Structures are given as C-alpha cells and as structure tokens.
Amino acid sequence: MGELLERAVVLDSQFVMGTYARKPALFVRGEGMRLFDDDGKAYLDFVAGIGAVNLGHSHPAVSLAVVDQISKLTHVSNLFYVEHRDELARDLVALFGEPAKVFFSNSGAEAVEGAIKLARRWGKALRGESCFHIVTAERSFHGRTLAALAATGQPNKQEAFQPLPGGFSHVPLNDIGALEAAVTPDTCAVMLEPVQGEGGVYPCDAGYLAAVRRLCDEREVLLILDEVQTGFYRTGPAFAHAAHGIVPDVMTLAKSLANGLPIGAVLARGEVADTFHPGDHGSTFGGGPLVCAAGRACVRALTEERLGANALAAGEYLRDRLRDLASGSGAITEVRGVGLMNAIELASADAQSISADLLAHGVVVNAIGPRILRMLPPLVCGKPEIDTLIDALYVSLSQHSHGGA
C-alpha cells in the first residue's frame, strides 16, 4: 500500500461517513481508458466513474474549457444570465431533435427530483390535485434522495429510510399488461430507464418502449425516460430511446454530460416545458458557467469523435468475447447489455471477490451485489482493452471455479 493510499484510508475512516465500501486503490491521474494510482501502477478502467467519463479521462477539450472558464468566473447564481448555460441547453435540444427546454441541476438524482416535480405540476393542472401518481419499474434505480428513492424499484435500498414519499408504484419491466393495469386516472407519468443500470443492466425489450409511448398517449400520461446512465452515446445513439423510435415527454440526464463534473439536466418538450413558473424550482449551483463550459466541450467532442459508433462496435465485440467465455467456463449464466453498457451474471456469488482479483491485476470493474459484474468503460474503449479484460476475467473465474483466490 502506497503512502498516499495508507494516509487516505486512515483519514477516510476518521472523518468521512461510511456510505461506501472503498476499494484499496487511490487514483491520482487518468488518461483515456487508463487510471494511475499513487504508486504509478496503471489500470484499465471499465467503470468510468460509474458511466460518467464517456470521453475518457483528462480529455484535452474538457480540460481546456475548464481551465479557461475557472480563470474568469466560477459562479454567480441563476438570478442572472450565465455564459454557456443557454448554449449548452441549445446543444442538448439539438441532440434531442425536438423542440424542448432544459433545467440544469447538479446530479442525476436532482434531475429526477425535478422531473417528478414537473410531472406532478403538469398532472394537477390537467386533472386536479389527485393526479400525482407515477409508475416506475421493478429493479429500477432513479437516485438516493427521498423522492428519487421512492421512485426506485428496489425495496432493499428503501427499507432503512421509511416512510418514503407516497405516490409511486412499481411494475415488472417489459410487461405492458402490468403497466396498463397500474396506470389510473390519477397517474401523471410513467418513468423508465431504457436500460436499467444500477439494477443490473436489463434493457427494455424491442417494442416495449413503443408500446409504453402509445399507452401514455392514450391515457394522457407523461413518459419520462431516465437517461442518466444511458445518455450521451453510451448505447450508440446520443440517447438510448432513439433506437426504439420514440420520443419521451421528459428526459433526465447527468453523469457524462460534463465528463465527470457534477451536472444534471431535465429536458422537457412542448407545453410540458412551460409547466414550471418562476419560483417553482431552482438550484444554487445548477447550470453554473464552469460546468456548462465543460458540458459544451464534452458534448461537442463526443459528437465529433463519433464515439457512439465506437460504443456499438466495441460493445458487440465485448459481448461476443463474454459469451465465448461463458460457454467455455460455465461460470457465467447470462451476458446482458447494449453498446458499452454491459453486465454478466455469475453462476456463483463471487462478484465481489472477482472484482477484487481484477483490481489487483490492473482492471477496474463494478460488482453489483453478489452475482453481477458491470462494465461501463469510457467510449474510447477498443479491442485491445477488451481482450485484456477477458484474459484477466478468465484467470479469475478459473481460480474461483477451482476454489482458489
């Protein structure tokens, strides 16, 4: 253990709340797909800040934009017009491809909270005070603030924080019949992830989102898509819903919008965007000049470098290699994913120990519970990096299948 890491472990245990089980690494530098720890050891990063660093670490366009802006102005507040905010909103609407407006927040959870407030404001104006119910999916994840947690379809994450805000119900993903039964005259919105991320990387089936879109139109209900993790070319198109041929009424964004800097957004189209009035919602730091400068540079670079096309090609190659490994080892029961958002289900509850093995050998992956390993690399990921991951995973799976460590 390096001196910096040893010091961090001591200070963290003394002064930082224990909300995460830290892994034994302290990264001090990054470049593209690679991270470097305090001892100079290089790692291949298949987590990307939990899907937040789509451009890769230390991308020069974002770094230059941040340095330029921070030398001029960091913060003033949303009481005034702010440089880069309106331009970034324009860029997001252009990517969306429909007339829309944007509210900026600091995170994905805040974006979800904003979308919930917007939907309830809209629903009450349409059908009265009782129209505040929102349907989400089982296994979904929408954030850890109270309303976002109530919307999340994972009881194990909710139990310790009851009572949660009411007005939410959860149905199985890809079951249009269950959704039809759950939508009532008091429902203002359906909120879904095109690919469930934190829940274990479960994509919406072909045709399901189109059926949801039709149902929402028939019942006069908003369709909110949580694209916090799927957004910005991770699954191929700029936003994952485009592959399903539908357009949501409201979309939440965050994570890779500024390549790892804290920013979120709520995008709403048509009359829904005009539901909020001055005083209905706000944020002290949301949409500040620094993060918006970074966001503009990030969105431009993602588009110009055609990283969506690379996400599709690299993701297909990764799943092919994982399926070959599954058939050869018997240690993997399922391979799931779209683009560079992928996971494997393990036959045994070894995800945490395999993740630790890979970290020790210079490969960073994310264990979700006891049986799922998630892979969310930067979109610059290529075949050599994937081959290194597969080789390391093969060794670890072989050791565990023979009772090794």
Kindly report, residue by residue over 245-281, the tens digit of the pLDDT.
999 999 999 999 999 999 999 999 999 999 999 999 9
Q: Which residues of the chain are in CATH 3.90.1150.10 domains?
A: 3-55+306-401
- Whole-angstrom distance, CA of residue 381 vs CA of residue 389: 11
Whether 255 sits among the annotated catalytic residues: the reply is yes
pLDDT value at residue 402:
62
What angle (nearest 5°) sits at the alpha carbon of residue 123, between those of residues 120 and 126? Answer: 150
Pick the CATH number of 3-55+306-401 from 3.30.990.10, 3.30.465.10, 3.90.1150.10, 3.40.640.10: 3.90.1150.10
Give CA torsion, residues 248, 252, 256, 262, to 10 deg. Answer: 160
pLDDT value at residue 404:
45
pLDDT value at residue 405:
39
Q: Which residues of the chain are in CATH 3.40.640.10 domains?
A: 61-304
- Whole-angstrom distance, CA of residue 257 vs CA of residue 228: 9
3-state secondary structure labels for all residues of 58-80: CCHHHHHHHHHHHCCCCCCCCCC
- For the sheet containing 187-192, what is the strand order? 100-105, 264-269, 250-253, 222-226, 187-192, 133-137, 168-171
pLDDT value at residue 2:
83
Catalytically annotated residue among 46, 255, 350, 357: 255
Per-residue pLDDT of 322-352, as tens digits, reads: 999 999 999 999 999 999 999 999 999 999 9
Whether 141 sits among the annotated catalytic residues: the reply is yes
Among 75, 41, 78, which Cα is nearest to 281's? 78
Lookup: tokens for 235 = 């699954």
Between the alpha carbon of residue 109 and those of residues 25, 136, 146, 254, the distances in Å are: 26, 15, 9, 9
pLDDT value at residue 1:
76
**Residue 118 CA from chain centroid, whole number:** 21
Catalytically annotated residue among 37, 45, 91, 226: 226
- Whole-angstrom distance, CA of residue 72 vs CA of residue 231: 30
Other CB atoms closer than 10 Å to residue 108's CB: what's the count? Answer: 31
Q: Which residues of the chain have pLDDT under 70?
A: 402-405
Residue type, 172: P
Catalytically annotated residue among 46, 96, 103, 141: 141
Whether 205 sits among the annotated catalytic residues: the reply is no
- Whole-angstrom distance, CA of residue 184 vs CA of residue 159: 26
Partnered with residue 66 across adjacent β-strands are none
- Whole-angstrom distance, CA of residue 38 vs CA of residue 173: 43
pLDDT value at residue 317:
98
CATH class of 61-304: alpha beta
